[in-house]
Structure 1
Amino acid sequence: MSDNTSTPHGSGASATTGLRPMPKVNKITVNDVIDAFAAGLADFRRAPVYGLAIGAFFALGGLFVVLSAAALNMSYLSYPAAAGFVLIGPFAAVGLYEVSRRLQNGEELSWSRIFGTMWAQKGRELSWMAFVVLFIQIMWMYQVRLLLALFLGFRSFASFDEFLTQVISTPEGLMFLAVGHVVGAILSLILFSLTVVSFPLLMEEDRDFITAMITSVRAVFTSPVPMIGWAFVVTAVLIVSMAPAFLGLVVSLPILGHTTWHLYKKCVEIPEETL
């Protein structure tokens, strides 16, 4: 397929338009995931200000979503809304990928350069990936409302406590929880497969978002055990991080974001351009 071959970071792409080979996907092991995590933690320690600032902004976004649900007398949607909010984590971590890229290449770190790179993506393919994430988040909220209607009827709840009591003390509520978490897990796995390497790939290379998603899915299918294992780790860390009013995300998001960048570098190789 043809696309613009100019690259944001001088990746060596040809200045002419022509067929471009698909990125090469490497098979990785659990040890590679551990190494990526160690590298991500090292990046966080080397540039904590950037990670903490981005993590704090993300945490504030989660609080805003939950408080908005309460303000609209829809506090019973606080939990699913919070769970749906963390689905945008890959997009929120874009700035972290740029920090890791600069650290890896020995380039200067500054807010102006990081924001400049992020702003440059507004007219690029990464914007379409943001739309994909948003679409899945909307699907998440719609399936929650559908399951609520199916299992608990068309009703609202005066408070989150009333909703929680109904959910955990009735057969219908427990079924809602079980089915909801299964559907949520499926949507999360789909989103993970589509985005785990596509966002960092688009940050580094001027590729179309379809190629990026295909590469991401190939990475998961090539190394299913370590990649899905990493997905479970990410899910568990995010759940724990949300518990104390989203405060845990201030630290966990940057570490997960930096780790994802290094995991991408282990999974994907960009071949020489074919004219």
Structure 2
Amino acid sequence: MSKGIESLTGSQFTTFVVMVDNCVGEHVYENRAQLRSIPYLKEFGFDRVIHDDLWDNDFRLVDYELLNPDDIDAETAEFPLIHVTNQENLVEKGEQHLVRGLLRERSREDPYILVVDTDSPSTPAYTSRKSVRDEFVPNTVTRFEQSVEDYIDEHLNSTLPTADTRNLYYHRISHHHNEVGAPADSFLDLFDYDKAPPNSPAWEPLYYFVNHDLEQILEKYTERIREALRSWTERGDVMKIANNMDSMLTRCQFSEEQLDEQRGRNAGLYPNV
């Protein structure tokens, strides 16, 4: 039994987990935050992730190995695996074949976490009367939102409302800021780079953009940042966060050295850092 699965679900008897997250589903206005579960699942040691390339946006809040669902051979796949998808992709993009293949080929000791928008994901190309939970037992269902809220309450000193976001990455920043007395109660607090502690995780995305986008600087770079954050962040102050990031990148001329200098100046605000 994987210790990570046991810690995540509390179950000692199953390694197949269906994690229900409504954000991976299709929405009327705008699809957002499809990847918000990844920082949480990484806490339990899972960092090999299958998901649609369209959600990647060439940006990651945390490091993980991205696996394209079209490139995976279920017979040779290595576990543990996270598979982030939705019922529409299972049918329209054929991921139902991959899901069944992985469930069929894995051993009962191989952790497989299916993050999906329903607690009864179906594979209608095979059967219309049963869900994969009915066919592949034992399994455990967990609700992402409740699970991550419980984790935040138990392990972190975050004052960022879960109503604003349930992405654990942002709550870790809030926790870090609270530990040193930095602003921590809102997205704008977390990404106020004039006050961010020098060792805050809030700086990490800036270095990502510097290292990955120097050859592709856009005239409207705020839009590039907003698009990058879309797959990780629920509705909220995304544009204002993007403005703050763009402003600091412009001030530092997209230079790692100047970002380091700005962080050094901020160190003077926090004597204990």
Is the TM-score greater than 0.5? no
TM-score (structure 1 length as normaliser)? 0.24
Q: Which one has the bigger strand percentage? A: 2
TM-score (structure 2 length as normaliser)? 0.24
Q: Which one has the bigger helix percentage? A: 1
